[in-house]
Structure 1
Amino acid sequence: MASFTPLQRLVIAVAVLASFVTFLDGTVVTVALPAISRELGGGITTQQWAVDAYLITLSALILLAGSVSDAYGRVTVMRIGLIAFGIASVAVAASFTPLVLVIARAAQGAAGALLVPSSLALITAVMRGEVQSRAIGVWTAFTTAAQLVGPLLGGLFVDLLSWRFVFLINVLPIAVNLILLSRLHLPEPARGTRVDWLSGALCALGLGGVVYALIEQPHLGWASPAIIGTGVGGAALVVVFLLRQRRPQPLLPLSLFGVRNFAWGNLSTLFVYAALSLNGFVIGVYLQQGAGLKATQAGLASLPITILMILLSSRAGRWSGRYGPRLFMTAGPLIMAAGALLLLTVSESFDYWWQVLPAMIVFGLGLALTVAPLTSAILGSIDESRSGIASAVNNAVSRVAGLLVVAMLSTIVGGRLDLAGFHDAARVTAALMAVGGIVSWLGIRRPVPERAPEAAER
C-alpha cells in the first residue's frame, strides 16, 4: 500500500479487518457443518439453518445498519459491531442444541450487519477515483481471501480440536481492530438522518418467513399450513417493506437504482453471489460426506482460489479503474461458469487432482477478475454522502442471494447431497454465473460518479 497516505492505509486496514471477521465467519462454518450435525443432530436441515440464520439477520439488517452508519458515524457503529460480534461468537461456540446454535448465529449476523457497510463506507469517504479503485481492490483481496481461507481454518479446528473453536477464530482480529479504531480520528458530525426501525423489522421478518418455508417444505410439504402461512406471510411483509420505501428518508432509497451501474451491478451481484454461496456450501459438505475427505482436506480444496485472489484481485481493481469494469465483470463470471462445469468430472472414483483442482484454478481466476471491479463499479457510481447506504444495499443483495440459494438447496440437489446432487448444484452454479456475466455486459458502463435524485434533493 505504498501509494496510499498514512490515513488511507489505516482506513484500509480497519476496513479489511472489520469485514474479515464477517466474511470469515460466513464461510468457515461450511466445513464444520457435518461435525455440527453429528453432535447436535438434525441432518441437512441443521446445516442449512446454521448458514441461513446468520444470513437472514445479516442481509435483512445490513440496510438498517447502513442508515445507522450514515446517521451516527461509521467508526462508532463499527466499534459497537465488533464488540457484539465477539460476544455472539462465544455464544455460538457454547451452543448445546440446534435451537441455541441457530439463535446465536442469528445474533452473530445482526452484529455483522454493522460492520460491512461501515467498512466500505470508510474507504469511499476517504478515497475517490482510481485511488478508491485500488483501495477496494486491496479490500477485496483480503476479505475475499477470508471467505476462501475460512474452510481451511475451519477444517483444521474441526479435525484437531472441535467445531466449537471454529467460531472463536475471529477473536484476535476483533481485538486488533478495536485498537486500530482507537487511532482513527475522522470528522463524523451527526447528520440527523432518521433511522427507519420499522422497515428493518419488516425486512427481517419477511425474509425469515420466506426462508423458513423454503428450508422446511421438504419435511412438511407445500400444503402444510405452517409452510403456507410463513411463506405467504413473509412474502407479504417483504412487499410491505418495499412499498414503505416510497416514504421520505427510506431505509432502501429506491432512487439509487436510477443510477445505471448501481442497478445493473446489483442485478449481476444477485446471480454471482448466489452461485458463490451454492458452490461454497456444496463443496464444503460433499467433499466430506460424499468423497470421504477430512475437514482439513475439504478446506484445502479451495486453497488455489485463495492464492489467485491474493495475487490478482488488487491488480484487477487497478485495471478496472483504468479500463472500466465491464470487460472484467463479464469475463470473470463466464470463466467461473466454466470452472463450475469442470466439477461435472467428479465421479464415484474420486480424484482431487484431476477432478477438482482444475475447476478450482479456473474458478479462482474468474473470481479474481470479478469481485473488485464489481464492487468498484457499484460504489464508484454513487455520491460519497450516500456511500454507507449504497454499500449496505450491495452487501444486502449479495447476502440475500446466498440466503435464498442455500434455503433452496434441498430442491436443487433433489433432497440428498450425493454425487447426482453435487452435479446438479454444479450445473445451477454455472447457469447463475453465466447470467451474471451477461447482465454485466448488457448493463455496465465506465462509472461516472452520480448523485442519486433523492440525495440531490437533500
Structure 2
Amino acid sequence: MTSLRLSDRAGRGVLLATVLASGMAFLDSTIVNVALPRIGHDLTASLADLQWTINAYTLTLAALVLIGGVLGDRYGRRKVFLIGVVWFTLSSMLCGIAPSVPLLIAGRALQGIGAALLTPGSLSLIQSSFVPEERAKAIGAWAGLGGVAGAIGPFIGGYLVDTWSWRFAFYLNVPLAALVIFATLRWVPESRADEVEPGAGGRFDVGGALLGAIGLGGVTYALVEAPGQAGTVAVWAAAVMGVAALAGFVWVEHRERHPMLPPQVFASAQFSAINVVTLFVYAGLSGVFFFLVLQLQVVARFSALQAGVSLLPMTVVMLAFSSLSGSLAQKIGPRIPLVAGPLMGAAAVLLMLRIGPGASYVWDVLPAVTLMGLGMTTVVPPLTSTVLAVVADRYSGVASGVNNAVSRAGGLLAVAALPLVVGLSGASYQNAGALNGGFRTAMMVCAALFALGAVIALVFVRGKAATPPPERHRCSVLTPMEPGVRTQH
C-alpha cells in the first residue's frame, strides 16, 4: 500500500509510530552511555564489563539487523516491526531489574535483537506506505526527529541517573513502546516485498545469518578481551573464527540462491562508497560518545545530569537544521555535505582535547559539541537519502538493514578497539589520570576516522544525486537517517 500522505491522519500516525520506535532504539544507544560510571559503581564492573554493556546491544543489532529487514520484506513489515517493539520492551525491563553485570549484558543482547527487528522496519514502512512524491519529505522528518531522539538520550539519561537510578533509563522504554504499539495497530498498513514483485520471498538464508553473527561476535570478543587476555587461546581463537566467518559470509552470499544480503545491492559504486563513509563516521561518533561521558564525569567531575545537559547543543542544532541540510543536499548533490560534515566532526573532536580536569563548560565543552552537531546535521540527511536512492523497493528492508548494520558495526568495532588502542583496561577508567591520557589518544583516533570518511566521500561520491540503472520493475523510492539503501530491480 503506497497511498498515504503526511497531510492524512493515517500518514501522520505512520510517522509517529516509526519515529517513536526508531527513536527508542537510538535513545537506548546513547542514554546508557551517560549511566556507565554509575552502573560500574553499583555493579562493581570493569572497563570490559562496560564495553560489553554497550557492545552486547550493538553486536546483536549489527549482526541481526539484515535479518530483520529480510524478515519484514518476506513475512510482513508491520508484523515484524511489532514483534520487535514488544521484544525490545520486555528485554528493557530485564535490563532494569538486572542484579548483576552478566544479567545486564544478557538483557542488552536481547534488546539488540528487538532493535534489529524494529529498526529496518521503521524505515521500510515509511517507504512502502507513502506515495512516491511524499517519501523524501517523510524520510526527512523520520531522520531529523529520530536523530533528535538519539541526541536527547544523554540528557534524559543524566536526569534519570541523578534523580532516580540508572535502571529507569531502561524502564522509560515501556510507556514509549505502548504508544508505538497503539499507533501501529491503528494506522500502519501491512506490506511485503512480494506485493511489489511476486516471488520476492524465497528461502531464508540461515547460513548467511549464522556466519554474519559469528563473524562480528568473534572479532568483537577478541578486541574487548585482548587487554586482559592478549595471548590466550580464547582471544586468538575468537579472532580467527570471526575473520574466517566473515570471509565465509561473503562467499555464501555470492552463491546462495536467496541471499540475506543480495550482492546486487552493491552493484552501485555510489552505494558502496556511501557505506564506507558511514562506517568511518559512525565509528568516530561512537568512540567519542563512549569516552566523552566518562571523561566529563570522572575527569572533569561533572554530574551525570551535567554531562547529559552538556550534549544538548547537538540536539538543538539537529532539530534546527536537519531539514535545511536535506534540502541543500538535494540541490547541490551529496559530495560537498559528505566531505564538509565529517571534516567538521574531526575539528569538533580535536576541540574536545581541551576537556580535562576543571574543564569549563562554556569554553571547553560547548564549542566542541556544537560543532559536532553541525557536522552530523550536515552529513546525516544526504548520507541516508543518497544510500537509499540507489536501491529498489523489493530490497527496501535489506537496504536499510545494510546501512544500519554498517553504522552499528562501525560503532561496535570502535568501542571494542579504542580502549585496547589507548591502553585502558580493568578499573583504570575510574582513575582520572589514566582516563585523561587515554581520552586524549582516543580523540585523536576518532578525529582521524572522521577525516577518513571525508576523504572517501571526496574521492568516490559523485557530485550529483545517484540515479539507479533502468530496470524492468522500477519503483521510485528515497530513504532515511541511520544509513539505508535502495536498488532497482
Q: Which residue of 2 aligns with 1:235?
A: 243
Distance between the aligned counterparts of 2:38 and 2:223, measured in 1? 24
What is the alpha-carbon distance in structure 1 between the residues aligned to residue 71 and residue 270 of structure 2? 24
User: Are 1:327 and 2:356 an aligned pair?
Assistant: no
Say if 2:201 is the partner of 1:201: no
Measure the CA separation in 1 of the matches of 2:415 and 2:328.
33
The separation in 2 between residues aligned to 1:14 and 1:266, in whole angstroms, is 27
Q: Does 1:225 align with 2:233?
A: yes
Q: Where in structure 1 are there 5+ consecutive unaligned residues? A: none
Greater Cα shift, 37-46 or 353-362: 37-46
Q: Normalising by structure 2, report the TM-score.
A: 0.89
Provide the residue aligned with 1:146 in structure 2: 149
Paired residues, number: 457
Q: Matched residue of 1:115: which SS?
A: helix
Alignment of 1:359-398 (within 5 A): 359-398=368-407
Distance in structure 2 (CA, Å) of the matches to 1:306 and 1:455 = 40
Secondary structure at the residue paired with 1:408?
helix
* Distance in 1 separating the partners of 2:420 and 2:123: 35
Question: 1:175-222 CA deviation, whole Å, 9 max, x = no partner?
Answer: 11111111225352573332212321221122111111111110011x
SS class of match (2:167): helix
**Matching residue of 2:318:** 309
Q: Which piece of structure 1 moves more, 263-272 or 184-193?
A: 184-193
Larger deviation, residues 419-428 vs 78-87: 419-428
Which one of the candidate residues 89, 98, 101 is aligned to 2:101? 98
1: CA distance between counterparts of 2:349 and 2:131?
A: 35
Counterpart CA distance in 1 for 2:295 and 2:409 is 23
- Alignment partner for residue 224 of structure 2, among 201, 215, 224? 215
Question: Following the alignment from structure 2 to structure 1, what is the Cα–Cα distance between the partners of residues 470 and 273?
Answer: 15
Question: Partners in 2 of 1:180 and 1:356 — Cα distance?
Answer: 39
Aligned to 1:450: 468
Deviation at 1:290, TM superposition (A): 1.4
Please say which of residues 235-244 and 80-89 is displaced more in the overlay: 235-244
Which secondary structure does the structure 2 equivalent of 1:193 belong to?
coil
Structure 1 residue aligned with 2:276, among 242, 245, 267? 267
Alignment match, 2:35: 32
Match of residue 451, structure 2, among 426, 434, 452: 434
In structure 1, give the amino acid aligned to 2:387. I
> Helix, strand or coil: the match of 1:114?
helix
SS at match of 1:113: helix
Tell me the equivalent position of 1:118. Answer: 121
Match of 1:38, SS? Answer: helix
Query: Could you say if the C-alpha distance between residues 311 and 12 of structure 1 is closer, same or farther in structure 2, counting changes exceeding 3 Å?
Result: same
1:47-58 equivalence runs, <5 A: 47-58=50-61
Deviation at 1:395, TM superposition (A): 0.1
What corresponds to 2:163 in structure 1? 160
Q: 1:372 to 1:129 in 2, by over 3 A?
A: farther
The alpha carbon displacement at 1:357 in A equals 0.7
Is 2:287 the counterpart of 1:278?
yes
What are the superposed Cα offsets for residues 362-391 of structure 1, whole Å, 9 maximum, x if unpaired? 111111111111000001111122111000
| Residue identity matched to 2:374 | L
TM-score, normalised by the number of residues in structure 1: 0.95
| Alignment check: 8 A CA contact 1:137 1:315 kept | no
| 1:440/1:8 CA distance change after superposition, 3 Å | farther
Q: State the Cα RMSD in Å.
A: 2.1
The answer as to 2:412 corresponding to 1:412 is no
Unpaired stretches in structure 2, ≥5 consecutive residues: 195-200, 430-434, 475-487
Give yes or no for contact 1:134–1:317 (8 Å, CA) kept in 2.
no
AA in 2 matched with 1:68: L
Identity of aligned residues (%): 39
Deviations 1:230-263 (A, max 9, x none): 1111221121112110122111112211113211
Contact 1:253 1:454 survives alignment (8 Å): no
1:45 is displaced (CA, Å) by 1.1
| Aligned residue identity for 1:42 | A
Give the stretch that moved more between structures: 176-185 or 319-328.
319-328
Q: Which moved more, 1:143-152 or 1:109-118?
A: 143-152
* 1:245 match: 253
3-state DSSP class of the match of 1:293? coil
